[in-house]
Chain A
Amino acid sequence: MIHSLFLVNSSGDIFLEKHWKSVVSRSVCDYFFEAQERATEPENVPPVIPTPHHYLISVLRHRIYFVAVIQSEVPPLFVIEFLHRVVDTFQDYFGVCTEAAIKDNVVVVYELLEEMLDNGFPLATESNILKELIKPPTILRTMVNTITGSTNVGEQLPTGQLSVVPWRRTGVKYTNNEAYFDVVEEIDVIIDKSGSTITAEIQGVIDACVKLTGMPDLTLSFMNPRLLDDVSFHPCVRFKRWEAERILSFIPPDGNFRLLSYHVSSQNGYPVGYRSLVAIPVYVKHNITFREGSSQGRFDLTLGPKQTMGKGVEAVLVSSQLPRGVLNANLSASQGTYTFDPVTKMLTWDVGKINPQKLPSLKGSMSLQAGASKPDENPSINIQFKIQQMAISGLKVNRLDMYGEKYKPFKGIKYMTKAGKFQVRT
C-alpha cells in the first residue's frame, strides 16, 4: 500500500514528508528529480517512476508534485485517485492548495494525512467525515481555540462512518432548506484546417449543493435520459433504480458534492441517422500564412456563434502558440485586447462576448526573423468560452422531488456550457 508521501514544489524542494510505515529516506526522490529534469515541461514528468526498491507515483496539481512511494504491487490508479483526493481535501480545508497554505496549516495537514490513511490503507476520505474528525481552520475558530484552549479535533466518533449512508451525517438542521443543482458541460473539440469536426465530445457533471434538514430522499428525472449512456455516479445514487427507470434516486450528502458525471460522444452507441449529439457552439475562420523568403506572415482570425440556441457566448478567450520563428505580432482586434509574449510566443486574445451582428476579428501581420526559413509547424488555436443557461448536449432536468421529510425545500437547477479542450488546427 502507500508507504510515504512527499510534497515537492516547483523549484524541486521537498517541503513536507509523511510516512505511514517505516521511514523511507527522502533520497528516494532523487529519481523523481532526475525525471523532472529530463521532462521539458513540468506536466511531462511521467506519473509512474520505477526505482530499484520503490515505485514513485506522482500527480501535479496546483504546481505541487504529490509524490507517493510504494513498495509492493499496488494499483497505480488507486494511488493516483487517492492523491487527487488529498489535494481536494486540502483545497476544501484551506481554500487553496498552495505551498504557503500547506505550511501555514502543517499540523492540520499532518492530522488529515494521518486520518486519511492507516498503514497505507485509506481510512476516511469523505470530506464530511473528515470535517467531523478534524475541524477546518477558520479565523474565528483559531481565535476561540487560543482563548479557550479547546482544539480543532472532534471528540466524537464520526457518526457517518458506520451507517448505511456513510456520506451523510445524522442530525443535520437548516432553517432554510435548499437544494441547488448545476448542470455543467465542457465540450472538447478538435476541428481541422478545413473547418470540419474531427472529434467532439462532452464531459458533463451535475454538481449539487444540498442543504436539507434530516434524511431527505430525493429523486431527479430527466426529459431525455437517453443521453446519459456513459455515467459515473456518486455512491449515494441507487444504481438499480437508474438501470430500471432512468431516475436518479438518492439520499444526498450534506453540502456540496458531485452527483454524477457523464460523457457524451459524437457517435458511439447511437443508431445511424440519430442527430449528432454534439453541437459546436462557435466557429472560427482563420488564415495564418507564412510565405517562403518573406519575413512577414499574415494573421487573420474571425469568430462567430453557431448552434447556441439563441444564448450568448461569453468570456471568450483565444490563445495560440505561434511558431518559434515569429518575432512579433502586429495585430488589431475589432473588440477586446490581445497580448503577444515574444518569449513564450504565446498569443492571447481576450475577446469577451461575441456579438452575432458584429463578429469579433483579429487581423494583422507577424514579423519573422530576417532570413529565417518558413516555420514548419502550424499553430493550433485554443478557445475558451462560456454559455449560460444551456447544456450543449440538450440535457434537461424534468423534475426534482423530495420524500422522507415534511418541509418544502427551495429547489433550483442551473445550466452552463464551457469550452474544455476546444482546439482548432490551422
Chain B
Amino acid sequence: MTDSKYFTTTKKGEIFELKAELNSDKKEKKKEAVKKVIASMTVGKDVSALFPDVVNCMQTDNLELKKLVYLYLMNYAKSQPDMAIMAVNTFVKDCEDPNPLIRALAVRTMGCIRVDKITEYLCEPLRKCLKDEDPYVRKTAAVCVAKLHDINAQLVEDQGFLDTLKDLISDSNPMVVANAVAALSEIAESHPNSNLLDLNPQSINKLLTALNECTEWGQIFILDCLANYTPRDDRESQSICERVTPRLSHANSAVVLSAVKVLMKFMEMLPKDLDYYGTLLKKLAPPLVTLLSAEPELQYVALRNINLIVQKRPEILKHEMKVFFVKYNDPIYVKLEKLDIMIRLASQANIAQVLAELKEYATEVDVDFVRKAVRAIGRCAIKVEQSAERCVSTLLDLIQTKVNYVVQEAIVVIKDIFRKYPNKYESVIATLCENLDSLDEPEARAAMIWIVGEYAERIDNADELLESFLEGFHDESTQVQLQLLTAIVKLFLKKPTETQELVQQVLSLATQDSDNPDLRDRGYIYWRLLSTDPVAAKEVVLAEKPLISEETDLIEPTLLEELICHIGTLASVYHKPPSAFVEGSRGVQHKRIPIRSGSGESSESQDTGGAPGATEAPAAVIPSQGDLLGDLLNLDLTPPTSTAGAPPGPPMPMGGMDLLGGGLDSLLGGDIGGSPSMGSGFGAPAAVMPSSLNAPVGGGLGDLFDLGGGVGMPMGTFVPPKTLWLPAMKGKGLEIMGTFARRAGVIQMEMTLTNKAMSVMTDFAIQFNRNSFGLAPAGPLQVPTPLSPNQTIDVSLPLNNGGPVMKMEPLNNLQVAVKNNIDVFYFSCQYPISMLFVEDGKMDRQVFLATWKDIPNENEAQFQINDCHLNSDAASNKLQGSNVFTIAKRTVEGQDMLYQSMKLTNGICVLTELRVQTGSPTYTVSLKCRAAEVSQCVFQCYEAALKN
C-alpha cells in the first residue's frame, strides 16, 4: 500500500472516522490517521476541525509523529489560535530537550505558527536557542528571528533579538553566519532605514571566511550581502574580488551569478590599468557562457542578466557571439533573449555571421521569433554602419518571400534605416510600394505611409498611393491616421500644384470628422500653418530630422548602473529598479509617492518612470532620445523651471536610493518635524525669504565675510574658498574654480572660468546630473562670450532644488557637465550642506523637545570639533549666519549647552546639541536627524563654519 490511499477518502463521514482513529489507543492507528490528515491537507481539503484531536497526538516520543503533528499545526494554528495555546507547553519543553534535533525542530515550528499569543511564549526559548551550544540549533534560531519579525516586528526589536542576530555574524560556524546574514537581509528589506547590515572590514572578513565553508545557499546570501558593501579603497576591493572569484566555478548557477554581481560592482573601483583588472575581465566570460548550457529556465534568467552585463561591459563577451546562436528547439523566451544579445554584441568583426544567422531565423516557423529576427536585421543596420547595405539587401530578399508578416516587419525596419541613413537606399522604395496592398498591420501601414510622405518627390504616384489609404481613413488606427495626415501635408509642400484637393480632404477628415483630439489638434495646426505662412510650414514640416541611433534601445545609464548592482535579482530580470515593482519594499514606495506626483499611490506611474523616453508619440517624426545621456550631451539649454512642485519631464526612476540602503527615503520623507507641507515644499523654489527673519548679525559674522573669498553680502552663509573643479588639462584649456554660497536665500554656484587655451570659447552651458537634493540651475549659465584666451571671468549661477533626485555618494556630491564650443566636460564637486539650510529653520522649543525625543537613539551621531576658541555666544552667532538657529542655551557645571535646529530645503530637520566647555578648545556636537546620513555633512559644515 502506498500513500495514494490517503487521497481516496472523500466520503462524507471522513472527518468523524478520522477523529475516532486519532483518539485510538493504538499508536500505529494514530500515526496512520495523522498521515491521512496531512494528505488531505496537502491537496487543500479543510481538516481544521480535527485540530484538538491532532494536537493531542503531539506528546509522543515518536519523532515522525511529532513532525507530522508539527506540520499540521503550522497550517492550522492561525485559524484556531485558542487551541494552539494548548501546544505551547510541549514546545517549551521540547526546546529544552537534550537532543539538538528536537530543540531545533521545536523552535523552528514555533516560529512558523503565526499566532500572536504564541509568539509571546516564543521569546524565552528563542533567546536560549540563539545562544545554544549546538550550531545546528543556533542556525535554526537565526531564521526563527526573521519569522518572528515577519509576525511582530516590534516584539523582535524590543526583545533585542536584532542585536543577538548581528552578533551571530561573528559566529564560529559558517552555516550560522550564513543564516544570520540571510535573516538580517530579509528583515532589512522591510526596514529600509535600519542599519542592520552595517558592514565594516572586520565583518566583511568574517563573511569572506564563512563564504568558503558554508553551503551553496549560504554562499548566495553572503554574496548578496557583500554586494551591498562599499570598499574603502581599490586595495580592499581587489582583495574581496580575489576571494570571491573562486565562486565563479561553483556548480550552483545562483552562486555564480551572485559572484558575478559582486565582481561587476567592485570592479568599478579598480584602476583600469591594473593587471588584475584584465585578468578579472577574462575570468568573467567562461562562467557566463556555462550558464547557457543549463536548463532553459536558468538560461532565461542568465540571458536577462547577460543582457545588462553586455551593455555595461561589452568587452567581456565580445568573442562569445556564437554561444548566443539560437537552437531551433530552444523555448521561445530563450530565443528572443538570445536574439537581443546577438544584436548588442554585433560589431563590424562579426556582422557577416550574425546576418547569416538572422536570415536563417527569419525562415523559422514561430511568428513572434521571425518578426523579432527581421527587426534585429534592421537594428544591425543601424548599429553597424558598414553592414547597412548588406542588411538592406537581406531585407529585400525577405520581402521577396512574400510571407505576409515578414514583409510587414521588414517595411517597419526599413523605415528606421531610412531615418538613420537618409538619401542612401531610396532605390528600394519601388519594391516596397509593390507590397502596399498586403499591409494590414497599423505599424507597417504607418511606416509605409511615412516613407511615401518623406520621399514623395521621388515617387511618381505618391498622391495616388496616399489617396488610396485615405478612402478608409476612419477605419484606420490613430497611428496610421496621424501618419497619413503628416504625409499628405508633406506631399502638398513638395508638390503643391497637384495635391491641393487631397490635402483639403485630409484636413477636413482630421479636423471635422474625427473624435480624436490629437488628430484634430494636429490637423488644425497644419491647417493654420499652411494658410498663414506656407514658408514657415515648409520649415516646420520638412525640417531636417535628427538621425536615430542605436542608443534608443539601450538602458539609460543610471538605471543600468543600478541594475548592475542588482544582478541576479528580479530587478535584473525585469530591467526595472526594485522599487518599481517589489512589494517587499512597501515602506519605500509609500514614502516616495507623495513627493513625486503629489497624490495617489498608483504604482503605474512608477512603471512608466522606469523607462523614460520609451513612450514615443506614435506618429512623431522625431524619435525621442530623451535619456539622460542624450540630455547631458546635447545640453538642452532650457533650464528646468521651478514653478511647478513636480520636476519637469516624466518622473524619473529614483531607484538609486535602494541600492544604497534606501536611506534617501527618509531624506525625502514628508513626515519630518511635524510639518505636513514639507512633502510638497520639496519641489518649491528655495528663494523664499521668510519675513520673520530678524536674527541679529553678530560680530562673529563680520569676520566670516572677510574670509569667504567671495563678495561679502548681508545674510550670506559661510562660503568656502573656491577650489579647482576642472583643471585646464582636462578641460581642453578651460579651467573652472568654484564654490557655493547661499545669498539672500538663494543658492549660488560661483565659478571663475579661465580660458587657458589658444582660441576663444563661446556657447557656454551647464547641466547637473541628478543629485541628492535635486539641485538644478535656475537659469542658463550667463557667460559674457566670447571668452578670449587668458581671460578670466567670475560667474554666478543661481540654483534651485526642483531637479530630479538621486542619492549620491557622498551625499553632497554634485556631478556637473559644462559645455562650450570645444567639447563637453564633466566634473564633480561637493557643496557644503549649509547651502541647503533654509532661513526659517528655527524650531519652536516645544517642537524641538518633542522631535528630539521622537527620533530614535540610533540616529544620534556625535562629533568632536577640536581647536575652536570661540565662546558659546560667538559660536552661536557664527552658526546663525549659516541658518543654524540656537533655540535654547543651558549652562551646567561650566559647560554651555546650545540647542540648535536647522532645516534643509527638502524639509529635513536636523537637531543638535553643541557642548562648549569654557576654556577648552574642544566642542562636542550631538546630532539627531531622521535621515541619519546627513549627519556627516552637517558636521562638516559645523566645523567649517566655526573655524572660519
Interface residues of A (CB under 8 A from B): 1, 14-23, 26, 39-41, 43-44, 46-48, 50, 53-55, 57-60, 71-78, 80-82, 84, 100, 103-111, 114, 118-119, 121-122, 125-126, 142, 149, 151-157, 161-162, 164, 166, 188, 190, 192, 198-199, 201, 203, 229-235, 239-240, 243, 258, 260-261, 263, 265-269, 376-378, 380, 382, 421, 423, 425
Asked whether, in the complex, the Cβ of A106 is within 8 Å of the Cβ of B296, the reply is no
Asked whether, in the complex, the Cβ of A100 is within 8 Å of the Cβ of B573, the reply is no
Kindly report which residue of chain B lies nearest to residue A20, judged by CB atoms.
B112
A227 → B minimal CB distance (Å): 12
How many Å lie between the Cα of A84 and that of B252 in the bound state?
11
How many Å lie between the Cα of A19 and that of B114 in the bound state?
13
Asked whether, in the complex, the Cβ of A15 is within 8 Å of the Cβ of B43, the reply is yes
B455 at the interface (CB under 8 A from A): no
How many Å lie between the Cα of A171 and that of B144 in the bound state?
32
Q: Which of B318-326, B625-633, B795-803 contacts A (4 or more CB under 8 A)?
A: B318-326
Among B31, B146, B254, contact of A81 (Cβ-Cβ < 8 Å): B254
Given contacts A72-B189, A240-B246, 8 further A-B contacts (CB under 8 A): A1-B182, A43-B331, A47-B297, A119-B147, A199-B323, A203-B293, A267-B322, A421-B329
Which residues of A have CB within 8 Å of B217? Answer: 78, 82, 121-122, 125
Asked whether, in the complex, the Cβ of A119 is within 8 Å of the Cβ of B146, the reply is yes
Known A47-B301, A73-B189; judge A119-B112 contact (CB<8 A): yes
Q: Which of B581-589, B639-647, B807-815 contacts A (4 or more CB under 8 A)?
A: B581-589
Which residues of B have CB within 8 Å of A57? Answer: 297
Q: Interface majority SS on A: helix, strand, loop or mixed?
A: mixed
Known A73-B578, A151-B62; judge A377-B365 contact (CB<8 A): yes
Which residues of B have CB within 8 Å of A260? Answer: 251
Among B65, B213, B584, contact of A164 (Cβ-Cβ < 8 Å): B213
- 29 inter-chain pairs at a CB distance below 8 angstroms, sorted by A residue, are A21-B150, A41-B331, A43-B296, A55-B570, A71-B583, A72-B190, A73-B189, A73-B585, A75-B569, A77-B257, A77-B301, A81-B298, A100-B4, A110-B42, A121-B146, A149-B28, A153-B67, A157-B100, A190-B327, A192-B360, A198-B322, A230-B286, A231-B249, A232-B250, A232-B287, A233-B250, A235-B251, A261-B290, A376-B403
Known A230-B289, A376-B363; judge A107-B44 contact (CB<8 A): no
Asked whether, in the complex, the Cβ of A153 is within 8 Å of the Cβ of B64, the reply is yes
B136 at the interface (CB under 8 A from A): yes
Interface residues of B (CB under 8 A from A): 1-4, 6-7, 27-28, 31, 35, 38-39, 42-44, 62-65, 67-68, 71, 75, 78, 99-101, 108, 111-112, 114, 134-136, 140, 143-144, 146-147, 150, 173, 175, 179, 182-183, 186, 189-190, 213, 215-217, 220, 224, 246, 249-254, 256-258, 282, 285-287, 289-290, 293, 295-298, 300-302, 319-320, 322-323, 325, 327-329, 331-333, 353, 356-357, 360, 363-366, 401, 403, 568-571, 573-574, 578, 581-585
Known A1-B186, A22-B78, A26-B44; judge A268-B325 contact (CB<8 A): no
Known A73-B571, A268-B289; judge A157-B136 contact (CB<8 A): yes
How many Å lie between the Cα of A120 and that of B366 in the bound state?
38
Asked whether, in the complex, the Cβ of B360 is within 8 Å of the Cβ of A425, the reply is yes
Kindly report which residue of chain A lies nearest to residue B333, judged by CB atoms.
A46
A247 → B minimal CB distance (Å): 15
A79 → B minimal CB distance (Å): 8
Kindly report which residue of chain A lies nearest to residue B299, judged by CB atoms.
A47
Among A16, A109, A239, A421, contact of B246 (Cβ-Cβ < 8 Å): A239
B54 → A minimal CB distance (Å): 14
How many Å lie between the Cα of A122 and that of B220 in the bound state?
11
A74, A125, A166: most-surrounded residue (chain B CB, <10 A): A74
Asked whether, in the complex, the Cβ of A77 is within 8 Å of the Cβ of B253, the reply is yes
Q: Interface majority SS on B: helix, strand, loop or mixed?
A: helix
Among A104, A166, A258, A421, contact of B327 (Cβ-Cβ < 8 Å): A421
Which residues of B have CB within 8 Å of A44? Answer: 331-333
Kindly report which residue of chain A lies nearest to residue B6, judged by CB atoms.
A106
Which residues of A have CB within 8 Å of B251? Answer: 232-235, 258, 260-261
Asked whether, in the complex, the Cβ of A106 is within 8 Å of the Cβ of B323, the reply is no
How many Å lie between the Cα of A231 and that of B108 in the bound state?
37
Among B136, B285, B322, B582, contact of A72 (Cβ-Cβ < 8 Å): B582
How many Å lie between the Cα of A43 and that of B250 in the bound state?
27
What 8 A-B pairs have minimum CB-CB distances, sorted nearest first?
Answer: A72-B584, A230-B286, A151-B64, A104-B2, A77-B254, A47-B297, A153-B64, A122-B217
Among A73, A111, A121, contact of B582 (Cβ-Cβ < 8 Å): A73
Asked whether, in the complex, the Cβ of A380 is within 8 Å of the Cβ of B289, the reply is no
B135 → A minimal CB distance (Å): 6
Asked whether, in the complex, the Cβ of A105 is within 8 Å of the Cβ of B2, the reply is yes
Known A105-B2, A119-B112, A269-B286; judge A80-B63 contact (CB<8 A): no
B603 → A minimal CB distance (Å): 9
B568 → A minimal CB distance (Å): 5
Asked whether, in the complex, the Cβ of B3 is within 8 Å of the Cβ of A104, the reply is yes
B241 → A minimal CB distance (Å): 15
Among B35, B216, B298, B585, contact of A107 (Cβ-Cβ < 8 Å): B35
A118, A265, A268: most-surrounded residue (chain B CB, <10 A): A118
Known A75-B568, A76-B301, A105-B3; judge A229-B286 contact (CB<8 A): yes
Which residues of A have CB within 8 Å of B1? Answer: 142
Asked whether, in the complex, the Cβ of B215 is within 8 Å of the Cβ of A122, the reply is yes
Asked whether, in the complex, the Cβ of A201 is within 8 Å of the Cβ of B323, the reply is yes
Which residues of A have CB within 8 Å of B175? Answer: 161-162
Which residues of B have CB within 8 Å of A1? Answer: 182, 186
Which residues of A have CB within 8 Å of B574? Answer: 50
B51 → A minimal CB distance (Å): 15
Among B190, B302, B320, B329, contact of A268 (Cβ-Cβ < 8 Å): B320
